[in-house]
Structure 1
Amino acid sequence: MFKSGFVSIVGRPNVGKSTLLNYIMGEKLSIVSNKPQTTRNNIQTILTTDDYQMIFVDTPGIHKPKHKLGEYMVNSAKESTKDVDLVLFLTNPGDEIGRGDRFILETLKGKKCPVFLVLNKIDEFTQDAVAKTLADFSKEFEFDEIVPISAVKGKNVDKLLDLMVKELPEGPKYYPEDMITDVQERFVVSEIVREKALRCLRDEVPHGIAVDVIQMKQKENGTYHIEVDLICEKDSHKGIIIGKNGQTLKKIGETARYELERFLRSKVNIKIWVKVRKEWRDNALLLKELGYKKQK
């Protein structure tokens, strides 16, 4: 009997959703950064074995939006929990349940599919703190399974995966077995460049940036020629992104090229241009051009 189904991963920003997905897949398919709110699109990632096919929907962190981009991200996350076979609610140990987690739990009430509580980053807290958090959440919501994990170290992730497979219904193979994501290469390229920019830049810049892939061509010798616009909101940010003598931009390009070559399995030449688009996160037309489509 072959099983298949769709799994939505939800949680506040920076609780480790993308890290968990990347560990399960063994591929860096979802942007990971120490900056919150780094995932902006629902990325469908496909895990296929001889016995099952699991399609993950990695969502933006649910948070109170401050601009149109934020509204898009929150609506996108909410939409991802519709018509799925399983929801993983990720959170971290803490002193008490915060407003963000309570807001997400409210959106999950009434779901007909199973909902798992996945408590991530348990290696960073004491056993007492972990136990208290598990007890607190159990009082707030009737979860079908509760699994404490460390996505970074892989602790209990195999156990979580086994429990998830048990919840999958019998079904067809929705995607070819060699397909691991349904997003286009250009999107993954833009996410890789954006991640490297997030890692290299100061705190006041990151969430005011976007990446637009202007050109992506593969030459006869297999080498990719890629040109991207790194979009920021302020002239002062442009200077920070470029850095003294262009050193910051050079570092972004070098680290992005290394990972792009791993992803594309070929040599890559990349050029990055820094462009200022004031208040682009509140510009509906530009958001659409950058791939942030309005949720229905």
Structure 2
Amino acid sequence: MTVHENLNFLSNFNMVIHEQVDICDRVELARVFTQHKPDAVMHLAAESHVDRSITGSTDFIQTNIVGTYTLLEATMEYWNTLSTDAKKTFRFHHISTDEVYGDLPHPDEQGDHSSNKELPLFTEDTAYAPSSPYSASKASSDHLVRAWLRTYGLPTIITNCSNNYGPYQFPEKLIPLVIMNALDGKLLPIYGKGDQIRDWLYVEDHARALYKVLRAGKIGETYNIGGHNEKRNIEVVKAICSILDILVPKGTLYAEQITYVTDRPGHDRRYAIDASKMSNELNWQPQETFETGLRKTIEWYLINPAWCQHVQDGSYQSE
């Protein structure tokens, strides 16, 4: 599967131009800027799968660090050609992750198995403490973006988001992996006890937040974007199984396919976002609950079997 296939729908929008360019290719980036003259850059390009960063970190260093540096340099060169007024309205929006903050206290470690409400959350002022090659590379890219603002005046904004999920997500991620494995009758692998906690953010809510930040965010600010949905991994998997039991019933329960595997090295125990700055300053709130977003996601995978089959026919083998 190529990136073009996921972007086929863009042919319906005559204002959209697609260029497939390596983020580390300085010459091609310069051409794109010169040819298309953007009013803003939203930098989402990244290697993002933690497991792959552990077994092979080179691509993460190259794309997330060198790629961000290259894009910043290309943007600076273009930005310096703009008029004074155009410079003032231009934005470089860098999209990052909550994983740069490391992890947070877990309720099981506090003697409280019922609620996370009193436990701390990641704020925009939380110190960085990345745990994996992936999160370390993203932390490095965040620092580069802030340096280009302070040193060169490039108008940058950073957002750090929680775990995304939704349609078109590649099945190396937990939710699509579980959906597709469950439907194929395969085991549903859970790291450790499955008690790792993540905050889940539906992809369309994230997209709305990113556009809000681009249009109304303040230069030099960081904004945390979260879904207000702290869930243990095992809760997520069981919720998927329960929905599939209703939508695609079979002779046994899907939860019977759950299996527990050895935890990955350095696995963060808990992430949780305080998104109050987004709410208070930019009037953004997620529109989907975890329950509504998860059901929409599962339904999308069920009505797009050709997409799922094409992914499975490629080099990806449900790792």
Same fold, TM-score > 0.5, yes or no: no
The structure richer in helix per residue is 2
